[in-house]
Amino acid sequence: MNAPGFRAFDAHNHLQSERFGGAQERVLTEALGQGVIGMVVNGTCESDWAAVAELARRHPMVLPSFGYHPWRLSRRSDAWINALEQRLAEFPGAGVGEIGIDRWILDPSVQTQTRWSAAMKGEKPATLAEQEEAFLQQLNLATRFNRPASIHCIQAWGRLLELFQASPLPSRGFLLHSYGGPKEMVKPFADLGAYFGFAGSFAHERKQRQCEVFQSVPLNRLLIETDAPDQMPPDALIQIPLNRPADRNPVNHPANIIGIYRFAAATFGDKFDQDVCAFSAQMELNYRNLFGRGSNA
């Protein structure tokens, strides 16, 4: 049971994903029942934006975010950037994401791995130059309309900082989702307006180094995320298991944000004597500062 006053916000997930097997309504009810008050649901390409929009229309707790993920760029239609602008016009509270750059996906030595195939679904990755062009076009839209951008970056942190320094940025800030960069880059990114997403997978013992990096993140720039259906937290933090027998790939439930809050409050909550309610109040403030009211209503 959660203490009264506990309210959780999932700063980044993909509730529209087909991996939920069409059970989105049930998943949302379950999440709400656990104290999840708001979540940012991120599209990844034109073909899933409609599902994101539909979730947002039906549920005020869903804040939609529309964008082209760097892994999905080969799916772009000729009119993709106009289609994105239309979605942003349709939802004045919507964010821009998931967008970003990724060098890992281009590494020939990982292209034979199952994890790579699962990520790419048989698609050809865009070159870094193509990724940067699409990323900057989308970042510019976020800046022009002052929308919260949700940014993916793997193995390209130095380059990302260079791009930020050469580009106008949304004045409200942006989210570095599942921040996997080094400690030394926390300050330069924070100075440019970054918020840092702490995902449940960082609670695995093998990710202890990343937890140490997060000790340098200012508390007013920390956000908690599930990245559901991806990034399973360790078993001890799982609130609601969602392993469907037909799917060997485990599905992370957005309600697992509760366990991640508990872990994060214990790890980063010195200022609040590790009290999860006081910690959650700070996270709510951060969420609302970046994403606005936190709903699309």
Least gap, CB of 69 to Zn ion (angstroms): 7
Tracing tokens 């929009």 back to the chain, one arrives at 53
Judged by CB under 5 A, the stretch of 25-33, 90-98, 120-128, 275-283 that binds Zn ion is 90-98
The set of residues, in sequence order, having a beta carbon less than 8 Å from that of 106 and lying 6+ positions away, is: 125, 127, 128
Q: Which residue, 62 or 276, is less far from Zn ion as judged by CB? A: 62
Least gap, CB of 14 to Zn ion (angstroms): 6
Q: Which residue, 46 or 98, is less far from Zn ion as judged by CB? A: 98
* Site map 93..132 versus Zn ion, x via CB under 5 A: -----x----------------------------------
* Site map 199..238 versus Zn ion, x via CB under 5 A: ----------------------------x-----------
Q: Which residue, 65 or 239, is less far from Zn ion as judged by CB? A: 65
The set of residues, in sequence order, having a beta carbon less than 8 Å from that of 180 and lying 6+ positions away, is: 153, 154, 210
The set of residues, in sequence order, having a beta carbon less than 8 Å from that of 111 and lying 6+ positions away, is: none
- What token pair was written down for 16? 């529209």
Q: 269 and 276 in contact (C-beta within 8 Å)? A: yes
Q: Which residue, 48 or 227, is less far from Zn ion as judged by CB? A: 227
Q: Which residue, 61 or 154, is less far from Zn ion as judged by CB? A: 154
Least gap, CB of 231 to Zn ion (angstroms): 8
- What token pair was written down for 284? 């709510």
C-alpha 161/C-alpha 149 separation (Å) is: 15
Interacting positions 50-89 with Zn ion (CB under 5 A) = none
Least gap, CB of 177 to Zn ion (angstroms): 6
C-alpha 36/C-alpha 257 separation (Å) is: 8
Least gap, CB of 118 to Zn ion (angstroms): 14
Least gap, CB of 98 to Zn ion (angstroms): 5
Q: Which residue, 222 or 276, is less far from Zn ion as judged by CB? A: 222
Least gap, CB of 121 to Zn ion (angstroms): 15
Least gap, CB of 221 to Zn ion (angstroms): 19
Interacting positions 234-293 with Zn ion (CB under 5 A) = none
# residues contacting Zn ion (CB under 5 A): 2
Judged by CB under 5 A, the stretch of 91-99, 127-135, 262-270, 288-296 that binds Zn ion is 91-99
Q: Which residue, 98 or 132, is less far from Zn ion as judged by CB? A: 98
Q: 257 and 10 in contact (C-beta within 8 Å)? A: yes
Q: Which residue, 231 or 276, is less far from Zn ion as judged by CB? A: 231
Binding residues for Zn ion (CB under 5 A): 98, 227
